[in-house]
Amino acid sequence: MADTFRITLCQLNPTVGEIAGNAALARDAWEQGRAAGADLVALPEMFITGYNAQDLVVKPVFHKAAMAAVEQLAKDCADGPALAIGGPWFEDGCLYNAYLICKGGKVASKALKHHLPNETVFDEVRIFNAGPLGGPYSVGNTRIGSPICEDAWHEDVAETLAETGAEFLLIPNGSPYYRDKFETRLNHMVSRVVETGLPLIYLNMVGGQDDQVFDGASFALNPGGGLALQMPAFDTAIVHVDLERGTDGWRVKDGVKTAQPDTWEQDYRVMVQSLRDYMGKTGFKKVLLGMSGGIDSAIVATIATDALGAENVRCVMLPSEYTSKASLEDAEACANALGCRYDYVPIAEGREAITNTLAPLFAGLEEGLTEENIQSRLRGLLLMAMSNKFGEMVLTTGNKSEVAVGYATIYGDMAGGYNPIKDLYKMRVFETCRWRNANHRDWMMGPEGAVIPDNIITKAPSAELRDDQKDSDSLPDYPVLDALLEMLVDNDASVADCVAAGFDRDVVKKVEHLIYISEYKRFQSAPGARLTKGAFWLDRRYPIVNRWRDPS
Protein backbone atom coordinates (compact mmCIF):
# COMPACT_ATOMS: atom_id res chain seq x y z
CA MET A 1 0.00 0.00 0.00
CA ALA A 2 1.25 3.48 -0.87
CA ASP A 3 2.19 5.72 2.02
CA THR A 4 1.61 8.95 0.11
CA PHE A 5 -1.24 10.23 -2.03
CA ARG A 6 -1.17 13.40 -4.14
CA ILE A 7 -4.34 15.28 -5.15
CA THR A 8 -4.28 18.16 -7.59
CA LEU A 9 -6.99 20.56 -6.39
CA CYS A 10 -8.39 22.68 -9.21
CA GLN A 11 -10.12 25.80 -7.89
CA LEU A 12 -11.31 27.01 -11.29
CA ASN A 13 -13.96 29.21 -12.93
CA PRO A 14 -16.33 27.35 -15.28
CA THR A 15 -18.94 29.00 -17.48
CA VAL A 16 -22.52 27.77 -17.41
CA GLY A 17 -23.38 26.03 -20.66
CA GLU A 18 -19.87 26.14 -22.12
CA ILE A 19 -19.41 22.38 -21.91
CA ALA A 20 -16.52 22.15 -24.38
CA GLY A 21 -14.69 25.05 -22.74
CA ASN A 22 -15.16 23.61 -19.25
CA ALA A 23 -13.91 20.24 -20.49
CA ALA A 24 -10.83 21.97 -21.91
CA LEU A 25 -10.16 23.59 -18.52
CA ALA A 26 -10.47 20.18 -16.89
CA ARG A 27 -8.12 18.59 -19.43
CA ASP A 28 -5.49 21.31 -18.92
CA ALA A 29 -5.73 20.89 -15.15
CA TRP A 30 -5.38 17.12 -15.50
CA GLU A 31 -2.22 17.63 -17.57
CA GLN A 32 -0.77 19.74 -14.77
CA GLY A 33 -1.67 17.05 -12.27
CA ARG A 34 -0.07 14.36 -14.41
CA ALA A 35 3.11 16.44 -14.72
CA ALA A 36 3.17 16.81 -10.93
CA GLY A 37 2.78 13.08 -10.33
CA ALA A 38 -0.75 13.32 -8.92
CA ASP A 39 -2.80 10.23 -8.11
CA LEU A 40 -6.06 12.17 -8.49
CA VAL A 41 -7.02 15.46 -10.15
CA ALA A 42 -10.14 16.95 -8.56
CA LEU A 43 -12.54 19.57 -9.90
CA PRO A 44 -15.59 21.10 -8.16
CA GLU A 45 -19.28 20.24 -8.18
CA MET A 46 -21.11 20.38 -11.56
CA PHE A 47 -17.95 21.68 -13.20
CA ILE A 48 -18.62 20.29 -16.66
CA THR A 49 -21.84 22.32 -17.02
CA GLY A 50 -20.96 25.27 -14.82
CA TYR A 51 -23.04 26.08 -11.78
CA ASN A 52 -25.78 27.09 -10.95
CA ALA A 53 -27.27 25.97 -14.29
CA GLN A 54 -30.83 25.77 -12.90
CA ASP A 55 -33.47 24.25 -15.23
CA LEU A 56 -31.02 24.12 -18.14
CA VAL A 57 -29.73 20.87 -16.61
CA VAL A 58 -33.13 19.22 -17.00
CA LYS A 59 -33.09 19.67 -20.79
CA PRO A 60 -32.24 16.17 -22.12
CA VAL A 61 -30.01 17.35 -24.96
CA PHE A 62 -28.02 19.40 -22.46
CA HIS A 63 -27.36 16.81 -19.78
CA LYS A 64 -26.65 14.20 -22.45
CA ALA A 65 -24.03 16.50 -23.96
CA ALA A 66 -22.50 16.99 -20.52
CA MET A 67 -22.37 13.26 -19.87
CA ALA A 68 -20.79 12.65 -23.26
CA ALA A 69 -18.16 15.30 -22.53
CA VAL A 70 -17.22 13.56 -19.27
CA GLU A 71 -17.03 10.19 -21.01
CA GLN A 72 -14.72 11.71 -23.63
CA LEU A 73 -12.60 13.26 -20.87
CA ALA A 74 -12.28 9.82 -19.32
CA LYS A 75 -10.92 8.48 -22.60
CA ASP A 76 -8.59 11.43 -23.10
CA CYS A 77 -7.27 11.15 -19.54
CA ALA A 78 -6.82 7.39 -19.44
CA ASP A 79 -3.02 7.47 -19.21
CA GLY A 80 -2.31 9.17 -15.91
CA PRO A 81 -4.04 10.18 -12.69
CA ALA A 82 -7.71 9.59 -12.03
CA LEU A 83 -9.97 12.57 -12.76
CA ALA A 84 -12.84 13.56 -10.45
CA ILE A 85 -15.32 16.03 -11.94
CA GLY A 86 -18.84 17.16 -11.07
CA GLY A 87 -21.65 16.91 -13.59
CA PRO A 88 -25.20 15.73 -14.19
CA TRP A 89 -25.79 12.01 -14.59
CA PHE A 90 -28.95 10.37 -15.94
CA GLU A 91 -29.69 6.71 -15.40
CA ASP A 92 -32.74 4.54 -14.75
CA GLY A 93 -35.05 7.48 -15.42
CA CYS A 94 -33.43 9.70 -12.78
CA LEU A 95 -31.25 12.79 -13.08
CA TYR A 96 -28.55 13.21 -10.44
CA ASN A 97 -26.04 15.78 -9.32
CA ALA A 98 -23.03 13.49 -9.52
CA TYR A 99 -19.32 13.38 -8.83
CA LEU A 100 -17.77 11.28 -11.54
CA ILE A 101 -14.49 9.42 -11.10
CA CYS A 102 -12.75 8.78 -14.40
CA LYS A 103 -9.97 6.21 -14.65
CA GLY A 104 -8.91 3.54 -17.07
CA GLY A 105 -10.59 5.38 -19.95
CA LYS A 106 -14.10 5.29 -18.48
CA VAL A 107 -16.35 6.68 -15.76
CA ALA A 108 -15.41 4.09 -13.16
CA SER A 109 -17.30 5.38 -10.10
CA LYS A 110 -20.07 7.81 -9.26
CA ALA A 111 -21.02 9.62 -6.06
CA LEU A 112 -24.62 10.88 -6.18
CA LYS A 113 -25.76 13.88 -4.16
CA HIS A 114 -28.16 12.85 -1.41
CA HIS A 115 -29.21 16.13 0.24
CA LEU A 116 -30.60 18.53 -2.36
CA PRO A 117 -30.68 22.16 -1.19
CA ASN A 118 -34.04 23.84 -1.59
CA GLU A 119 -33.45 27.30 -0.13
CA THR A 120 -31.94 30.68 -0.98
CA VAL A 121 -30.62 30.51 -4.57
CA PHE A 122 -30.99 26.73 -4.90
CA ASP A 123 -33.92 24.71 -6.31
CA GLU A 124 -32.22 21.34 -6.64
CA VAL A 125 -35.27 19.44 -5.44
CA ARG A 126 -37.10 20.49 -8.62
CA ILE A 127 -34.11 19.57 -10.81
CA PHE A 128 -32.42 16.46 -9.46
CA ASN A 129 -33.36 13.17 -7.87
CA ALA A 130 -31.80 12.44 -4.50
CA GLY A 131 -29.10 9.82 -4.64
CA PRO A 132 -28.84 7.02 -2.07
CA LEU A 133 -26.43 7.02 0.82
CA GLY A 134 -23.40 5.34 -0.71
CA GLY A 135 -19.90 4.16 0.04
CA PRO A 136 -16.43 5.37 -0.96
CA TYR A 137 -14.71 4.92 -4.31
CA SER A 138 -11.19 3.63 -4.82
CA VAL A 139 -8.22 5.31 -6.46
CA GLY A 140 -5.41 2.80 -6.38
CA ASN A 141 -5.51 1.24 -2.94
CA THR A 142 -7.01 4.32 -1.32
CA ARG A 143 -10.71 4.68 -0.53
CA ILE A 144 -12.13 8.20 -0.76
CA GLY A 145 -15.52 9.54 0.27
CA SER A 146 -17.01 12.51 -1.58
CA PRO A 147 -20.07 14.11 0.00
CA ILE A 148 -21.20 16.64 -2.60
CA CYS A 149 -21.54 20.19 -1.24
CA GLU A 150 -24.80 20.17 0.77
CA ASP A 151 -24.15 16.55 1.74
CA ALA A 152 -21.26 17.74 3.90
CA TRP A 153 -23.55 20.06 5.87
CA HIS A 154 -25.35 17.00 7.27
CA GLU A 155 -23.97 14.24 9.48
CA ASP A 156 -25.34 11.16 7.77
CA VAL A 157 -23.47 11.14 4.44
CA ALA A 158 -20.00 11.59 5.95
CA GLU A 159 -20.73 9.10 8.74
CA THR A 160 -21.96 6.49 6.24
CA LEU A 161 -18.82 6.96 4.16
CA ALA A 162 -16.59 6.60 7.22
CA GLU A 163 -18.46 3.48 8.35
CA THR A 164 -18.09 1.90 4.89
CA GLY A 165 -14.34 2.41 4.68
CA ALA A 166 -13.54 5.93 3.48
CA GLU A 167 -10.01 6.92 4.51
CA PHE A 168 -10.44 10.63 3.91
CA LEU A 169 -13.12 13.00 2.58
CA LEU A 170 -12.86 15.04 -0.61
CA ILE A 171 -15.81 17.41 -0.84
CA PRO A 172 -16.55 19.06 -4.22
CA ASN A 173 -18.53 22.30 -3.93
CA GLY A 174 -20.38 24.94 -5.87
CA SER A 175 -20.81 27.16 -2.82
CA PRO A 176 -21.58 30.82 -3.57
CA TYR A 177 -20.58 33.72 -1.40
CA TYR A 178 -22.62 35.51 1.16
CA ARG A 179 -21.20 37.67 3.91
CA ASP A 180 -19.40 35.61 6.60
CA LYS A 181 -20.13 32.32 4.85
CA PHE A 182 -16.57 31.06 5.13
CA GLU A 183 -16.87 30.77 8.90
CA THR A 184 -20.14 28.86 8.50
CA ARG A 185 -18.51 26.43 6.07
CA LEU A 186 -15.50 25.94 8.28
CA ASN A 187 -17.63 25.23 11.35
CA HIS A 188 -19.63 22.58 9.48
CA MET A 189 -16.50 20.93 8.11
CA VAL A 190 -14.82 20.85 11.51
CA SER A 191 -17.91 19.02 12.76
CA ARG A 192 -17.54 16.41 10.02
CA VAL A 193 -13.88 15.90 10.89
CA VAL A 194 -14.62 15.53 14.59
CA GLU A 195 -17.49 13.09 13.94
CA THR A 196 -15.64 10.87 11.49
CA GLY A 197 -12.03 11.22 12.62
CA LEU A 198 -11.05 11.58 8.96
CA PRO A 199 -9.04 14.26 7.16
CA LEU A 200 -11.22 16.48 4.97
CA ILE A 201 -10.47 18.44 1.80
CA TYR A 202 -13.03 21.10 0.82
CA LEU A 203 -12.79 22.11 -2.86
CA ASN A 204 -14.86 25.08 -4.05
CA MET A 205 -15.12 26.73 -7.46
CA VAL A 206 -14.59 30.42 -8.19
CA GLY A 207 -16.20 32.97 -10.50
CA GLY A 208 -19.41 34.82 -11.15
CA GLN A 209 -22.69 33.44 -12.49
CA ASP A 210 -25.58 35.91 -12.82
CA ASP A 211 -25.97 37.29 -9.28
CA GLN A 212 -23.81 34.69 -7.54
CA VAL A 213 -20.06 34.64 -7.02
CA PHE A 214 -18.29 31.44 -6.01
CA ASP A 215 -15.45 32.46 -3.76
CA GLY A 216 -13.13 29.46 -3.74
CA ALA A 217 -11.22 29.61 -0.43
CA SER A 218 -10.73 25.83 -0.57
CA PHE A 219 -9.10 24.27 2.48
CA ALA A 220 -8.03 21.05 4.16
CA LEU A 221 -8.47 19.89 7.75
CA ASN A 222 -6.81 17.10 9.67
CA PRO A 223 -8.42 15.10 12.48
CA GLY A 224 -8.86 17.39 15.45
CA GLY A 225 -9.78 20.25 13.14
CA GLY A 226 -6.27 21.54 12.45
CA LEU A 227 -6.01 23.62 9.27
CA ALA A 228 -3.49 22.07 6.87
CA LEU A 229 -4.21 24.13 3.75
CA GLN A 230 -5.98 27.38 2.90
CA MET A 231 -6.27 28.39 -0.75
CA PRO A 232 -6.98 32.00 -1.77
CA ALA A 233 -10.46 33.45 -1.90
CA PHE A 234 -11.83 34.34 -5.36
CA ASP A 235 -8.65 33.52 -7.33
CA THR A 236 -8.29 30.58 -9.68
CA ALA A 237 -5.61 28.23 -8.37
CA ILE A 238 -4.26 24.75 -8.95
CA VAL A 239 -2.53 23.29 -5.90
CA HIS A 240 -0.94 19.88 -5.41
CA VAL A 241 -1.84 18.51 -1.99
CA ASP A 242 -0.02 15.60 -0.41
CA LEU A 243 -1.43 13.17 2.12
CA GLU A 244 0.77 10.87 4.15
CA ARG A 245 -0.33 7.64 5.81
CA GLY A 246 0.93 6.76 9.25
CA THR A 247 -0.16 4.52 12.06
CA ASP A 248 -3.18 6.78 12.68
CA GLY A 249 -4.26 6.82 9.04
CA TRP A 250 -4.01 9.60 6.46
CA ARG A 251 -2.97 13.15 7.28
CA VAL A 252 -2.83 16.16 4.96
CA LYS A 253 0.69 17.58 4.89
CA ASP A 254 0.91 21.28 5.67
CA GLY A 255 0.62 23.50 2.62
CA VAL A 256 0.08 27.14 1.82
CA LYS A 257 -2.24 28.99 4.19
CA THR A 258 -3.48 32.13 2.46
CA ALA A 259 -4.94 34.76 4.77
CA GLN A 260 -8.62 35.49 4.18
CA PRO A 261 -9.56 39.11 3.39
CA ASP A 262 -11.87 41.01 5.72
CA THR A 263 -15.58 41.44 5.06
CA TRP A 264 -15.25 44.85 3.38
CA GLU A 265 -12.69 43.54 0.93
CA GLN A 266 -14.66 40.37 0.24
CA ASP A 267 -17.85 42.31 -0.49
CA TYR A 268 -16.00 44.67 -2.81
CA ARG A 269 -14.27 41.78 -4.56
CA VAL A 270 -17.64 40.11 -5.13
CA MET A 271 -19.04 43.26 -6.75
CA VAL A 272 -15.98 43.55 -9.00
CA GLN A 273 -15.82 39.84 -9.85
CA SER A 274 -19.55 39.53 -10.53
CA LEU A 275 -19.45 42.37 -13.05
CA ARG A 276 -16.21 41.15 -14.63
CA ASP A 277 -17.57 37.64 -15.16
CA TYR A 278 -21.05 38.81 -16.17
CA MET A 279 -19.41 40.87 -18.91
CA GLY A 280 -16.89 38.24 -19.93
CA LYS A 281 -19.37 35.37 -20.00
CA THR A 282 -22.05 37.30 -21.93
CA GLY A 283 -19.62 38.84 -24.41
CA PHE A 284 -19.89 42.52 -23.48
CA LYS A 285 -16.61 44.44 -23.41
CA LYS A 286 -17.58 47.95 -22.30
CA VAL A 287 -20.08 49.65 -20.00
CA LEU A 288 -21.60 53.07 -19.55
CA LEU A 289 -23.52 54.65 -16.71
CA GLY A 290 -25.21 57.87 -15.75
CA MET A 291 -22.73 59.81 -13.59
CA SER A 292 -24.82 62.06 -11.36
CA GLY A 293 -22.22 63.39 -8.98
CA GLY A 294 -23.77 61.26 -6.22
CA ILE A 295 -22.23 58.48 -4.19
CA ASP A 296 -24.02 55.53 -5.85
CA SER A 297 -22.90 56.29 -9.39
CA ALA A 298 -19.42 57.09 -8.08
CA ILE A 299 -18.99 53.66 -6.46
CA VAL A 300 -20.49 51.88 -9.49
CA ALA A 301 -18.06 53.71 -11.79
CA THR A 302 -15.22 52.68 -9.48
CA ILE A 303 -16.33 49.04 -9.39
CA ALA A 304 -16.64 49.04 -13.18
CA THR A 305 -13.17 50.52 -13.58
CA ASP A 306 -11.67 47.97 -11.21
CA ALA A 307 -13.48 45.17 -13.05
CA LEU A 308 -12.90 46.19 -16.66
CA GLY A 309 -10.28 48.94 -16.83
CA ALA A 310 -10.89 52.66 -17.29
CA GLU A 311 -10.71 52.39 -21.08
CA ASN A 312 -13.87 50.28 -21.01
CA VAL A 313 -16.01 52.58 -18.84
CA ARG A 314 -17.97 55.60 -20.07
CA CYS A 315 -19.40 58.02 -17.49
CA VAL A 316 -22.20 60.24 -18.78
CA MET A 317 -23.40 63.37 -17.00
CA LEU A 318 -26.99 64.15 -18.05
CA PRO A 319 -27.76 67.43 -16.26
CA SER A 320 -31.07 69.25 -15.92
CA GLU A 321 -31.68 72.69 -14.48
CA TYR A 322 -31.84 71.04 -11.04
CA THR A 323 -28.33 69.58 -11.26
CA SER A 324 -26.12 71.53 -8.88
CA LYS A 325 -22.74 72.99 -9.75
CA ALA A 326 -21.24 70.77 -7.05
CA SER A 327 -22.67 67.65 -8.70
CA LEU A 328 -21.24 68.67 -12.07
CA GLU A 329 -17.82 69.22 -10.54
CA ASP A 330 -17.93 66.06 -8.42
CA ALA A 331 -18.97 63.80 -11.31
CA GLU A 332 -16.20 65.08 -13.58
CA ALA A 333 -13.62 64.90 -10.80
CA CYS A 334 -14.48 61.26 -10.05
CA ALA A 335 -14.43 60.23 -13.72
CA ASN A 336 -11.08 61.98 -14.19
CA ALA A 337 -9.62 60.38 -11.06
CA LEU A 338 -10.65 56.96 -12.39
CA GLY A 339 -9.36 57.76 -15.89
CA CYS A 340 -12.72 57.01 -17.53
CA ARG A 341 -14.24 58.72 -20.52
CA TYR A 342 -16.58 61.51 -19.41
CA ASP A 343 -19.40 62.76 -21.63
CA TYR A 344 -21.64 65.75 -20.97
CA VAL A 345 -25.14 65.37 -22.43
CA PRO A 346 -27.68 67.97 -21.16
CA ILE A 347 -31.31 66.86 -21.17
CA ALA A 348 -32.96 70.32 -21.23
CA GLU A 349 -33.76 70.34 -24.94
CA GLY A 350 -35.19 66.83 -24.94
CA ARG A 351 -37.17 67.49 -21.79
CA GLU A 352 -38.69 70.61 -23.32
CA ALA A 353 -39.76 68.66 -26.40
CA ILE A 354 -41.43 66.00 -24.26
CA THR A 355 -43.11 68.62 -22.09
CA ASN A 356 -44.48 70.38 -25.18
CA THR A 357 -45.72 67.11 -26.63
CA LEU A 358 -47.64 66.29 -23.44
CA ALA A 359 -48.84 69.84 -22.75
CA PRO A 360 -52.29 69.44 -24.40
CA LEU A 361 -52.97 66.31 -22.34
CA PHE A 362 -51.61 67.72 -19.07
CA ALA A 363 -53.17 71.18 -19.37
CA GLY A 364 -54.59 72.42 -16.06
CA LEU A 365 -52.91 69.66 -14.02
CA GLU A 366 -50.37 70.38 -11.31
CA GLU A 367 -46.74 69.44 -11.93
CA GLY A 368 -45.21 66.84 -9.65
CA LEU A 369 -43.81 63.32 -9.67
CA THR A 370 -44.71 62.78 -13.33
CA GLU A 371 -42.45 65.60 -14.44
CA GLU A 372 -39.65 64.45 -12.14
CA ASN A 373 -39.83 60.95 -13.60
CA ILE A 374 -39.74 62.30 -17.16
CA GLN A 375 -36.22 63.51 -16.39
CA SER A 376 -35.15 60.09 -15.18
CA ARG A 377 -36.81 58.28 -18.09
CA LEU A 378 -35.26 60.66 -20.60
CA ARG A 379 -31.87 59.89 -19.13
CA GLY A 380 -32.64 56.18 -19.44
CA LEU A 381 -33.62 56.65 -23.09
CA LEU A 382 -30.40 58.53 -23.86
CA LEU A 383 -28.21 55.98 -22.08
CA MET A 384 -29.90 53.12 -23.93
CA ALA A 385 -29.43 54.95 -27.22
CA MET A 386 -25.72 55.26 -26.49
CA SER A 387 -25.67 51.59 -25.47
CA ASN A 388 -27.15 50.58 -28.82
CA LYS A 389 -24.86 52.86 -30.80
CA PHE A 390 -21.60 52.04 -29.03
CA GLY A 391 -22.26 48.45 -27.98
CA GLU A 392 -21.76 49.29 -24.31
CA MET A 393 -23.92 47.77 -21.57
CA VAL A 394 -25.70 50.20 -19.25
CA LEU A 395 -25.07 49.77 -15.54
CA THR A 396 -27.78 50.78 -13.10
CA THR A 397 -26.77 52.40 -9.83
CA GLY A 398 -29.54 51.85 -7.27
CA ASN A 399 -28.38 50.69 -3.84
CA LYS A 400 -30.32 48.08 -1.83
CA SER A 401 -32.05 50.73 0.30
CA GLU A 402 -33.52 52.35 -2.83
CA VAL A 403 -34.33 49.03 -4.48
CA ALA A 404 -36.13 47.90 -1.31
CA VAL A 405 -38.51 50.86 -1.08
CA GLY A 406 -38.84 51.66 -4.78
CA TYR A 407 -36.97 54.96 -4.58
CA ALA A 408 -36.06 54.62 -8.26
CA THR A 409 -37.80 55.22 -11.58
CA ILE A 410 -38.81 52.16 -13.54
CA TYR A 411 -37.77 52.57 -17.21
CA GLY A 412 -35.62 55.46 -16.01
CA ASP A 413 -32.63 55.09 -13.72
CA MET A 414 -33.56 51.40 -13.35
CA ALA A 415 -32.94 50.79 -17.07
CA GLY A 416 -29.81 48.74 -17.67
CA GLY A 417 -28.19 45.34 -17.78
CA TYR A 418 -26.48 44.90 -14.41
CA ASN A 419 -26.37 46.54 -10.98
CA PRO A 420 -23.18 45.88 -8.97
CA ILE A 421 -24.55 47.48 -5.75
CA LYS A 422 -28.03 45.97 -5.77
CA ASP A 423 -27.39 44.16 -2.46
CA LEU A 424 -25.48 46.98 -0.75
CA TYR A 425 -27.42 49.15 1.68
CA LYS A 426 -26.83 52.90 1.53
CA MET A 427 -24.82 53.13 4.75
CA ARG A 428 -22.53 50.38 3.49
CA VAL A 429 -22.14 52.32 0.24
CA PHE A 430 -20.59 55.17 2.24
CA GLU A 431 -18.21 52.83 4.07
CA THR A 432 -17.33 50.96 0.87
CA CYS A 433 -16.30 54.24 -0.77
CA ARG A 434 -14.07 55.03 2.18
CA TRP A 435 -12.61 51.51 2.08
CA ARG A 436 -11.81 51.73 -1.63
CA ASN A 437 -10.23 55.16 -1.29
CA ALA A 438 -7.89 53.75 1.36
CA ASN A 439 -7.14 50.36 -0.23
CA HIS A 440 -5.90 48.94 -3.51
CA ARG A 441 -5.33 45.34 -4.51
CA ASP A 442 -3.64 43.71 -7.49
CA TRP A 443 -6.99 42.40 -8.79
CA MET A 444 -8.24 45.97 -9.21
CA MET A 445 -7.72 47.43 -12.69
CA GLY A 446 -8.40 51.00 -11.54
CA PRO A 447 -5.85 53.44 -10.12
CA GLU A 448 -4.64 53.57 -6.54
CA GLY A 449 -5.61 56.31 -4.15
CA ALA A 450 -8.71 58.34 -3.31
CA VAL A 451 -10.65 58.03 -6.56
CA ILE A 452 -13.99 59.12 -5.04
CA PRO A 453 -13.90 62.80 -4.03
CA ASP A 454 -14.60 63.40 -0.36
CA ASN A 455 -17.41 65.82 -1.19
CA ILE A 456 -19.34 62.98 -2.86
CA ILE A 457 -19.14 60.96 0.34
CA THR A 458 -20.02 63.74 2.77
CA LYS A 459 -22.81 65.68 1.02
CA ALA A 460 -26.50 64.96 1.65
CA PRO A 461 -27.90 62.44 -0.87
CA SER A 462 -30.33 63.89 -3.45
CA ALA A 463 -31.96 62.74 -6.68
CA GLU A 464 -31.89 66.40 -7.87
CA LEU A 465 -35.20 66.16 -9.71
CA ARG A 466 -36.58 69.34 -8.14
CA ASP A 467 -35.29 72.37 -6.24
CA ASP A 468 -33.62 71.65 -2.89
CA GLN A 469 -34.59 67.98 -3.00
CA LYS A 470 -33.12 65.58 -0.45
CA ASP A 471 -33.67 61.82 -0.13
CA SER A 472 -34.74 62.45 3.47
CA ASP A 473 -37.76 64.40 2.15
CA SER A 474 -39.30 61.09 1.05
CA LEU A 475 -37.58 58.49 3.23
CA PRO A 476 -36.46 58.05 6.82
CA ASP A 477 -32.82 59.00 7.33
CA TYR A 478 -30.65 56.23 5.93
CA PRO A 479 -29.32 54.93 9.29
CA VAL A 480 -32.93 54.38 10.38
CA LEU A 481 -34.10 53.07 7.01
CA ASP A 482 -31.24 50.59 6.66
CA ALA A 483 -31.69 49.27 10.19
CA LEU A 484 -35.40 48.73 9.49
CA LEU A 485 -34.72 47.07 6.12
CA GLU A 486 -32.23 44.69 7.65
CA MET A 487 -34.95 43.61 10.08
CA LEU A 488 -37.87 43.47 7.63
CA VAL A 489 -36.05 42.15 4.53
CA ASP A 490 -32.97 40.27 5.69
CA ASN A 491 -34.35 38.88 8.96
CA ASP A 492 -38.09 38.60 8.19
CA ALA A 493 -38.96 40.57 11.31
CA SER A 494 -42.52 41.59 12.09
CA VAL A 495 -43.75 45.13 12.62
CA ALA A 496 -44.04 44.30 16.31
CA ASP A 497 -40.39 43.19 16.37
CA CYS A 498 -39.34 46.53 14.87
CA VAL A 499 -41.44 48.50 17.34
CA ALA A 500 -39.99 46.48 20.20
CA ALA A 501 -36.53 47.38 18.90
CA GLY A 502 -37.38 51.05 19.37
CA PHE A 503 -38.66 52.18 15.95
CA ASP A 504 -41.74 54.37 15.54
CA ARG A 505 -44.67 52.24 14.40
CA ASP A 506 -45.83 54.73 11.76
CA VAL A 507 -42.35 54.76 10.23
CA VAL A 508 -42.19 50.96 10.28
CA LYS A 509 -45.59 50.65 8.59
CA LYS A 510 -44.59 53.16 5.91
CA VAL A 511 -41.40 51.26 5.11
CA GLU A 512 -43.22 47.91 5.12
CA HIS A 513 -45.79 49.32 2.69
CA LEU A 514 -43.09 50.69 0.38
CA ILE A 515 -41.32 47.32 0.31
CA TYR A 516 -44.47 45.48 -0.76
CA ILE A 517 -45.67 47.96 -3.39
CA SER A 518 -42.22 48.03 -4.99
CA GLU A 519 -42.21 44.33 -5.80
CA TYR A 520 -43.24 44.94 -9.42
CA LYS A 521 -40.24 47.21 -9.89
CA ARG A 522 -37.81 44.67 -8.48
CA PHE A 523 -39.33 41.98 -10.71
CA GLN A 524 -38.21 44.04 -13.72
CA SER A 525 -34.90 45.24 -12.30
CA ALA A 526 -31.41 44.32 -13.49
CA PRO A 527 -29.60 41.46 -11.76
CA GLY A 528 -26.82 42.37 -9.38
CA ALA A 529 -24.12 40.96 -7.14
CA ARG A 530 -25.38 38.87 -4.21
CA LEU A 531 -23.73 39.81 -0.92
CA THR A 532 -26.21 38.47 1.63
CA LYS A 533 -28.78 35.71 2.11
CA GLY A 534 -31.47 38.40 1.79
CA ALA A 535 -30.62 39.58 -1.72
CA PHE A 536 -33.40 40.70 -4.06
CA TRP A 537 -33.70 37.97 -6.65
CA LEU A 538 -33.60 34.24 -5.96
CA ASP A 539 -33.14 34.64 -2.20
CA ARG A 540 -36.40 36.55 -1.72
CA ARG A 541 -39.41 35.61 -3.86
CA TYR A 542 -42.61 37.46 -3.14
CA PRO A 543 -45.80 37.84 -5.20
CA ILE A 544 -46.15 41.04 -7.19
CA VAL A 545 -49.86 41.31 -6.37
CA ASN A 546 -50.07 41.26 -2.58
CA ARG A 547 -52.56 43.10 -0.37
CA TRP A 548 -51.42 41.55 2.92
CA ARG A 549 -49.88 43.83 5.54
CA ASP A 550 -48.58 42.86 8.97
CA PRO A 551 -51.33 43.86 11.45
CA SER A 552 -49.04 43.73 14.50
What mean pLDDT value characterizes the chain?
A: 96
Segments in 103-146 forming alpha helices (H):
124-127
Fold agreement between 4-260 and 264-467+519-523: no
d(C-alpha 244, C-alpha 1), whole Å = 12
Q: How far apart are CA 451 and CA 436, in angstroms?
A: 8
Hey, where are the domains in the chain? 4-260, 264-467+519-523
How many other CB atoms sit within 10 Å of the CB of residue 16?
19
- Alpha helices for 100-210 (secondary structure H): 124-127, 155-163, 181-196
Q: Which one from 77, 149, 334, 433 is the annotated catalytic residue?
A: 149
Average pLDDT over residues 25-47: 98
Q: How many CA atoms lie within 13 A of 170 on its CB side?
A: 33
The pLDDT tens digits for 12-34 are: 999 999 999 999 999 999 999 99
- pLDDT at position 433, please? 98
Question: Is 149 annotated in the active site?
Answer: yes
Residue-wise pLDDT for 49-93, tens only, equals 999 999 999 999 999 999 999 999 999 999 999 999 999 999 999
Whether residue 337 has pLDDT greater than 90: yes
- CATH domain 264-467+519-523 topology: Rossmann fold (3.40.50)
Which pTM does this prediction carry?
0.95
Could you read off the pLDDT of 478-510 as tens digits, one per residue? Answer: 999 999 999 999 999 999 999 999 999 999 999
pLDDT in tens, 531-552: 999 999 999 999 999 999 999 8
**DSSP secondary-structure letter at 89?**
E
> Exposure of 245 by Cβ count < 10 A (0-12 exposed, 13-18 middle, 19+ buried)?
middle
Catalytic residue among 45, 167, 372, 512: 45
Give domain 4-260's CATH number out of 2.40.50.140, 3.40.50.10440, 3.60.21.70, 3.60.110.10: 3.60.110.10
pLDDT digits (tens, 9 = 90+) for 402-460: 999 999 999 999 999 999 999 999 999 999 999 999 999 999 999 999 999 999 999 88
- The active-site residue, picked from 10, 77, 103, 113, is 113
